[in-house]
Structure 1
Amino acid sequence: MSFKTFLVGYGDNQGNGRGLYSVDVSNKSIQAKLIYPCEMKPGAIITTDNRLYMSYLGNNKEPGILTFSLDEAFNLTFLNKQTIPFFITSFGRINHTDHLLGSSFYDGVDVVFETADEIQIKSVDKHLYRPRSADIRQTDTHPHHICAMRDGLHAYSVDMGIDFVSFYSIKNNELHLIKDVFIDCPLGSGPRIMRISPDNRFAYLLHEISNSVAVYALRDFGIDEIQRISTLDGNTVIINSAAGCAMTADGEYLLITNRGENTLVLFKINSATGTLTVCDRIRTGLTPRDLYINDHQIIVAAQASDCLQLFEIDTSQHRLKLLNEVAGVSAPVGFLN
């Protein structure tokens, strides 16, 4: 199996190694190369058919987006740098349009912007704060993950700061809040990322602060919680923040990373009921931040170990296996959306 992707690295304290990396996997080996070093703080990345966009925050706190052309071989050519009003920390696609979704936990907003020659913000929704826990991550709004649903007509936004998931309709490339559809999470749980099953029947919401996954049944935008399961080994008492959350394309498995326990956790999804069963838990490098899945191979970005690790799911045994790793990737934090 061979595939390519991109990754953002934060670099060291002097900014060395900060920027955009290309990642190549071939024959169970992995390589990574810094292809676009940058002085500014990189944010999120996303691709369209022939473009890659990377958000950034400049040294003067001026936010913007870098645009690259992207060919079929995954080669990039820098095109331009544009300032925008918000530092985008999460991207999402809208099907079959020249617009993208974005959210910013710095600015507490969700946006739609046009990806023409000049990027233009078309719609803005400001999150409203409500007091939650004393955790520093909940002292303000913190929209962490935005994603369009498969119909291309709706989207959801996960806000860690207010324990809330908002749902939108998308009309004329504008966000319209659906006020009677939402997920109100338990006090202080800190929702971070949500994934939806390929058949649109179930949603899986990872909570960073409470280190748990909540499973919801989706019924014509009615939402019922059916399970809540810990991401941690119950025999271990440790300070932890759940971080990465991704689903295999076949909808068979959900994978979670734990920063603190420093593990990659494999959950088997019951296709009939949507419920999760822990199948395996494997050690990773320090501070596994994000993960990227291609078929049944997984790349984990171990931020504090400055490395990427390549794992594989043994689907016959429902187990994880470490295949390879590559060092020298400075503080890897976020894969291509």
Structure 2
Amino acid sequence: MSFKTFLVGYGDSQGNGRGLYSVEVNNDSIQAKLAYPCEMKPGAIIATENRLYMSYLGDNKEPGILLFSLDEELNLTFLNKQTIPFFLTSFGRIHHSNHLLGSSFYDGVDVIFEAADNIHIKSVDKHPYRPRSADIRQAETHPHHICALSDGLHAYSVDMGTDFVSFYSIRNNGLHLLKDAFIDCPLGSGPRIMRISPDNRLAYLLHEISNSVAVYALHDVGFDEIQRISTLDDNTVITNSAAGCAMTADGEYLLVTNRGENTLVLFRANPENGLLTLCDRIQTGLIPRDLYIRDHQIIVAAQASDCLQLFEIDTRQHRLKLLSEVTGVYAPVGFLN
């Protein structure tokens, strides 16, 4: 099995190794190289058919986007650099559209912008704040993850700072808040990322602060929580923050990374009701941040170990195994959306 993707690295304390990495997997081995070094702080990345967008924050706190062309071999060519009003920290695609979603936990907003060589923001929605816990991550709004539903007509935004998941309708390239559709999470749980099952029947919401996954059954008028399961081992007593969350394309497995426990956790979803069963837990490098799944292979970005690790799911025994790793990737934090 072979595939390529891209990754953002924050670099070391002097900024060495900061920028955009090209990552390649061939069978059981993984390689990575710095494809585009940059001085500014990189944010999120997303690709269309022949373009890649990377947000950044300059030394003068000026936000913007770097735009690259992509050829059929996923080689990058820098096109231009543009300033925009917000530092976008999450991206999302809108199916059957030439527009993209963005959110910013720095600015507390969600946006829609045109996916073109000149960036035009078409719609902005600012998150309202409500006091939650004393945790510093909830001192203000913190929209962490935005994603469009497969119908291309709706999107959701997960706000860690307010324990809230808001939903939008997408009309005329604009975000329109649906006031009757939302998930109000328990006080101080800190929702971070939500994944929708391939059949659109279930939602899996990862909570960073409470280190748990909540499972929701989706229906026309709302969301019914049917399960809440911990991401941690029962014997874990150290400080931990759940970080990455992704689902295999077949919807059979959900994977989560734990920063602190430093593990990759494998859950299996019941095909009938979507309930999760813990299958395996395996050690990773230090501070596993994001993860990327292709079929049943998983790349984990171990931020504090400056490495990427390639794991595989044994689908007969429902277990994880480490295949290989590559070092010299400085503070890897986020894969291509």
Query: When the two structures are superposed, what TM-score results if normalisation uses the length of structure 1?
Result: 0.99
- 2: CA distance between counterparts of 1:117 and 1:321? 42
Corresponding position of 1:231: 231
Opposite residue 60 of structure 2, the aligned amino acid is: N
| Structure 2 residue 124 is the aligned partner of structure 1 residue 138 | no
- 2: CA distance between counterparts of 1:97 and 1:236? 44
3-state secondary structure, aligned to 1:31:
strand
Matched-pair contact (CA < 8 Å) for 2:67–2:117: no
Corresponding position of 1:304: 304
| Structure 2 residue 255 is the aligned partner of structure 1 residue 251 | no
3-state secondary structure, aligned to 1:17:
coil
Opposite residue 232 of structure 1, the aligned amino acid is: L
Opposite residue 100 of structure 1, the aligned amino acid is: L
Corresponding position of 2:328: 328
Corresponding position of 1:198: 198
- 2: CA distance between counterparts of 1:19 and 1:193? 23
Matched-pair contact (CA < 8 Å) for 2:45–2:54: yes
Deviation at 1:117, TM superposition (A): 2.5
Deviation at 1:186, TM superposition (A): 0.3
Deviation at 1:116, TM superposition (A): 2.0
Corresponding position of 2:163: 163
Opposite residue 9 of structure 1, the aligned amino acid is: G
Query: When the two structures are superposed, what TM-score results if normalisation uses the length of structure 2?
Result: 0.99
Superposition RMSD in Å? 0.5
Opposite residue 263 of structure 1, the aligned amino acid is: T
Deviation at 1:236, TM superposition (A): 1.8
- 2: CA distance between counterparts of 1:118 and 1:213? 39
Q: How many residues align?
A: 337
- 2: CA distance between counterparts of 1:162 and 1:221? 22
Deviation at 1:304, TM superposition (A): 0.2
Matched-pair contact (CA < 8 Å) for 2:246–2:255: yes
Larger deviation, residues 92-101 vs 199-208: 92-101
- 2: CA distance between counterparts of 1:285 and 1:197? 28
Corresponding position of 1:271: 271
Structure 2 unmatched runs, 5+: none
| Structure 2 residue 290 is the aligned partner of structure 1 residue 287 | no
Deviation at 1:140, TM superposition (A): 0.2
> Over residues 287-318 of structure 1, what are the superposed CA-to-partner deviations in whole Å (9 max), with x where a residue is unaligned?
00000000000000000000000000000000
3-state secondary structure, aligned to 1:137:
helix
Give percent identity, aligned residues only.
85
Deviation at 1:271, TM superposition (A): 1.3
Opposite residue 318 of structure 2, the aligned amino acid is: H
Corresponding position of 1:112: 112
Deviation at 1:221, TM superposition (A): 4.5
Opposite residue 307 of structure 2, the aligned amino acid is: C
- 1: CA distance between counterparts of 2:262 and 2:16? 25
- 2: CA distance between counterparts of 1:101 and 1:251? 24
Deviation at 1:222, TM superposition (A): 1.6
Opposite residue 231 of structure 1, the aligned amino acid is: T
- 2: CA distance between counterparts of 1:103 and 1:135? 21
Corresponding position of 1:52: 52
Opposite residue 48 of structure 2, the aligned amino acid is: T
- 1: CA distance between counterparts of 2:75 and 2:117? 20
Deviation at 1:184, TM superposition (A): 0.2
